[in-house]
Amino acid sequence: MAADGPSGARKPVSVLFVCLGNICRSPMAEGVFRSMTKSDTRVGTIDSAGTGAYHEGSSPDPRTMSVLEENGENGYQHEARKVRNSDFKDFDYVLGMDADNLDDLSRQQRRIIKNGGVHAAPAKVMMFGDFGGRKGEEVIDPYYGARDGFSIAYEQMTRFSKGFIDQVLQDADITPS
Ligand code: 4NP
């Protein structure tokens, strides 16, 4: 977790992006956030996962990849995976894309805490859209729709990432030890 260390330095902030299938929205969020925080020492592990296991092991949807590439974000690779109980301990922030994701994540976190105590799942579970200036803004699932949905999602990911950087990382400056 991003707490003060012995020298007063903060540990890098780790972030897990979550959607349903982990092939459209959360890999896009991960790709955008990775590119916007490249070589930023305030950021630790970045990953993405799905609340469902339908596409486990698959690469991101070609429409996610083409929107990323169209915006100059090349070289992103990911294999879809399901959210694990350990993610709630390993990541400082677990960020859902819509209200269903948030419900599923909150329910999983409550279950882990019930069985293992708060130390088993201390992550902050929130909507990524909370960082867009309007609390609870959802990223609509674009999977069954037209490519347009992916471009709309890309604009949101960029805006939410900026908000996260401004609101969370400003507070996590690494002071030299
Ligand atoms: P994602 O989109 O949650 O943004 O990755 C979806 C991808 C696949 C399915 C649903 C949503 N699906 O039902 O297969």
Helix axes 148-167, 25-36, angle to 10 degrees: 50
- Nearest in space to 142 (alpha carbons), one of 27, 35, 47: 27
Tokens of 169: 């990382």
Closest C-alpha residue for ligand 1 atom 6: 21
pTM of the model: 0.94
Ligand 1 in reach of 141 Cβ (< 6 A): yes
Nearest 5°: the CA angle 11, 98, 172 is 15
Which structure tokens are listed for 137? 């803004």
Q: What tens digit of pLDDT does each residue of 106-133 get? A: 999 999 999 999 999 999 999 999 999 9
Question: How confident is residue 177, by pLDDT bands cut at 50, 70 and 90?
Answer: very low
Among residues 47, 104, 130, 141, which one is catalytic?
Answer: 141
Question: Annotated catalytic, 24?
Answer: no
Average pLDDT score over residue span 35-41: 95
Query: Which residue shows structure tokens 């990432």?
Result: 161
Q: Is the CB of 25 under 6 A from ligand 1?
A: yes
